[in-house]
Amino acid sequence: MMTPLDEAHAAMMAAPQDDAARLRFYERVADVELYLLLEEEAVGDQVSPVLYAQDYVMVFDRAERLAEHVGAEAPFVALSGRSIAGMLEGQPLGLAVNIGVAPSEILLPADAMDWLRQTLAHEAGEVEAKIDRVLPPGGLPEVVIAAIDAKLATATGMAAGAFLVEVVYDSGGRGHLLAFVGAQERAREALVRAASEALTFSGVEAGAMDVGFFAPDDPVVAKLARVGLRFDLPQGEGLQHTPRMAPGSDPSKPPILK
């Protein structure tokens, strides 16, 4: 069965001149959970990756694929692609992805990981503004809307929902706003990052998009629901229960190579 990484890789290979397809592939690399093959079991936050051709750490997007490649039990740690990119900062190493076991096998050299790391490190600015009018969204390409939908589909339990609208601020400024309703406080940074990356990896010159957070009983929410494009975030345990963190599960504290 094709995985999301397989599908993004196939789309990229089918259109080698399509920058948008290439961006979407790198977005999937950052977002998916990857199984990093280790020489030995992780000790605390110390990991010893198996190297491929001396220049790449080996990752697989399914545990079954790692097992198929090795042919026996082997130590590994499961991390998001963005965590592995952070782990490799300062190291002349790339990613060897799904080598020998999937159609998405590919070597991503160290400079590609540098680019991905820099792209993911882009931080949004924070300003205060008062909304004067709320309008239906208009002018954003469909690819951007699809990118937002794909990002928020992985934001389980982080907010009750979101609305995309166009707003006019009391300062006279105008733009698009992705408004989250009932977001958990400690999920806000991740939601801002998701919105920012949806624009970055959409592959179009979409301009800026503001992000706002509203309590369910805020009077503005009724206006958002009336004219906005709604995004339903999956609900579940989300951030309610946080298990003991595995090495690298905190993106700000990636594992350390031994």
- Indicate if 11 and 100 belong to the same structural domain: yes
Which of 121, 141, 156 terminates a domain? The answer is 121
- Indicate if 86 and 111 belong to the same structural domain: yes
Residues 6 or more apart whose Cβ sits within 8 Å of residue 36 = 47, 49, 57, 58, 59, 76, 77, 78, 79, 84
What are the residues facing 38 on neighbouring strands? Answer: 49
Confidence of residue 130 (pLDDT cuts 50, 70, 90): confident
- Indicate if 109 and 135 belong to the same structural domain: no
Q: With 90 as the cut, is the pLDDT of residue 91 above it?
A: yes
Q: Give percent above pLDDT 70 in the chain.
A: 87
Taking residue 139's Cβ as centre, other Cβ atoms within 10 Å add up to: 10
pLDDT tens digits, one per residue of 35-62: 999 999 988 888 999 999 999 999 999 9
pLDDT tens digits, one per residue of 214-229: 999 999 999 999 999 9
Least confident of 5-14, 59-68, 78-87, 132-141: 132-141
- Indicate if 68 and 12 belong to the same structural domain: yes
Q: What's the CATH code of the domain at 11?
A: 3.40.1350
Kindly state the helix (H) or strand (E) to which residue 70 belongs, with its residue range.
Answer: helix 63-70
Residue 246: per-residue pLDDT: 47
Which of 121, 143, 174 terminates a domain? The answer is 121
Which of 88, 121, 154 terminates a domain? The answer is 121
- Mean pLDDT throughout 100-114? 97
Number of domains making up the chain: 2
Residue 119: per-residue pLDDT: 87
- Indicate if 37 and 111 belong to the same structural domain: yes
Residue of higher predicted confidence among 255 and 82: 82
Q: 27-59 burial by CB neighbour count: b if 16+ within 10 A, else e?
A: bbbbbbebbbbbeeebeeeebebbebeeebbbb
Q: What's the CATH code of the domain at 213?
A: 3.30.300
- Indicate if 109 and 175 belong to the same structural domain: no
Q: Give the predicted TM-score (pTM) of the model.
A: 0.74
Residue 238: per-residue pLDDT: 46
Classify burial at 237, counting beta carbons within 10 Å of its beta carbon; exposed 0-12, middle 13-18, buried 19 or more: exposed
Distances (CA, A) of 126 to 216, 219, 228: 22, 22, 23
- Indicate if 11 and 92 belong to the same structural domain: yes
Q: Is residue 145 in some structural domain?
A: yes
**DSSP strand pairing (56-60 vs 33-37):** antiparallel
Domain containing 213 equals 131-231
- Indicate if 21 and 112 belong to the same structural domain: yes
Q: Is residue 251 in some structural domain?
A: no
Distances (CA, A) of 226 to 181, 191, 221, 229, 247: 14, 22, 9, 9, 44
- Indicate if 101 and 207 belong to the same structural domain: no
The encoded tokens of residue 115 equal 């680019």
Q: Is residue 56 in some structural domain?
A: yes
Residue 251: per-residue pLDDT: 46
Confidence of residue 255 (pLDDT cuts 50, 70, 90): low
Residue 257: per-residue pLDDT: 62
Average per-residue pLDDT for the chain: 87
Residue 86 DSSP SS3: helix
